[in-house]
Structure 1
Amino acid sequence: MNELKDLSDINRQLADQRPEDIIRWAIDLDKETIVTTNFGPYEAVILHMATRIKPNLPVVWIDSGYNTPETYLTAGRIIQDLDLNLHVFMPEMTAARRDALMGGIPEVDSEEHDEFTRQVKIEPFQRALATMQPEVWLTAIRREQTAFRHGLDVVSHGPNNVLKVAPLLNWNEADMERYRQEHDLPQVSNYFDPTKVIGNRECGLHTMAS
């Protein structure tokens, strides 16, 4: 990935491109590529876009074990409808055992919650990177979601020297809903991320050091 070390020109070139064109650019790099998902709201959008371009694209799901029943049911529909090449990575400890040891989900912004996040999100993701060994990572993050994401570029260097590509970075929720309705994609309404708890917090994946 040395030829892509300086990303400023690339980001200028992709700044006004459609998400589908950014995905196609990433796939055309002919590198080992994954797309990650949490099967939360609007996740079907990037999965639909990406698999229309490359149907067998590996899809990585970090399943924390704390998803709502609706999330698991909606995930099943998306997996089946899009015929996803799915790879699931879960924490090494079950949610029930962790709840017993930690007394449930720890308070946010505490050392205990940092350890909780490491166990249920960071460690499984690091294991996914080590197993899949991707060179390019497609992610559905958008600027409007958090203050941290507002300052990101479409293409950046991620953990393990992976090239992180955010095709939907400049889209807003109305754009996502329009695409979802146009393609009749499933949508989860009752979703909960225990590592974020509230919507405008980071889950930890996108703040990992490159």
Structure 2
Amino acid sequence: MIKTEASLKGEESAWLEAATAEERVGWALEQFGEKVVLSTSFGIQSAVMLHLVTQIRPEIPVIFVDTGYLFPETYQFVEELVERMQLNLKVYAPLWTAARQEAIHGKRWEKGLEELEAYNRDNKVEPMNRALKDLGAEAWISGLRRVQSSTRAQLQVVQKQKRTTKIHPIIDWSEKQVYEYMKANELPFHPLWEQGYVSVGDWHSTAPLGAGMDAESTRFGGLKRECGLHEKSDQQDWQI
């Protein structure tokens, strides 16, 4: 029987919390077989999860949501890692192009939280929902970590998000562990790391880390941390 957050027994839940990242990935693959996918934003430290998971299952579908507003350096990073790791990349884009959206709605990321939420639903949540449905995914491996933000501090190794079971293999990793893994495996950081970026998303909603800022305040002008992909919301209509 496929296990979810609600059905995990105490012993298994405790085992997952104490398990290594590789063991957690193995558990997910055993439980969900071919119905598990990996997502990536090709962010600052994305090479870690891409490497860790594809070392165990090289052919796993890797979902990448291309909003059309990514940094040029991000697109270059995508090509570098796809070639290096031979990723089974599945690219999903919004239903409307960036030009069409701006013509009709304007720059929604400049119009306050409500408009920003609508922008994120159209550009990130909807494409991800479509990807999960197209690929028949029941489980989704993600590289979220508790130390990344206050919104992620209470996440579990395995959680249910609507119809999808999410697995977070490196949820308890520190910055030191991430760095050591990258160094040991000779993995590259996103090119913008050297320019002071600690988190990278759309160019219009991402800033380098400045004096008096924390990582959360570098995204969306400090209005929020999450883009919608990792939030439980009634407005997410299918899987996530």
Match of 2:60 among 57, 60, 63: 57
CA contact (8 A) 1:77 1:186 kept: no
SS in 2 for 1:177: helix
CA contact (8 A) 2:41 2:65 kept: yes
The CA RMSD over aligned residues, in Å, is 2.1
Q: How does 1:32-47 map to 2 (within 5 A)?
A: 32-47=35-50
CA contact (8 A) 1:7 1:156 kept: no
Give per-residue Cα distances to partners, 1:131-188, cap 9 Å, x unaligned: 11211110000001121210110101123x2210000100122211111121111221
Aligned twin of 1:169: 171
Aligned residues: 209
Change in 2 beyond 3 A, CA 1:122/1:183: same
Give per-residue Cα distances to partners, 1:27-51, cap 9 Å, x unaligned: 1224311000010011110110100
Counterpart check, 1:6 vs 2:7: yes
Whose relative contact order is higher, 1 or 2, with alpha carbons under 8 Å and at least 6 apart? 1
Aligned twin of 1:157: 160
Aligned twin of 2:230: 206
Q: For the residues of structure 2 that align with 1:66 and 1:11, how far apart are their CA atoms? A: 39
Gapped runs of 5+ residues in structure 1?
Answer: none
Aligned twin of 1:141: 144
CA contact (8 A) 2:32 2:138 kept: no
CA contact (8 A) 1:146 1:202 kept: no
CA contact (8 A) 2:2 2:32 kept: no
CA contact (8 A) 1:11 1:153 kept: no
Percent identity of equivalent pairs: 34
Task: Normalising by structure 2, report the TM-score.
Answer: 0.80
Q: How does 1:35-184 map to 2 (within 5 A)?
A: 35-107=38-110, 109-159=112-162, 161-184=163-186
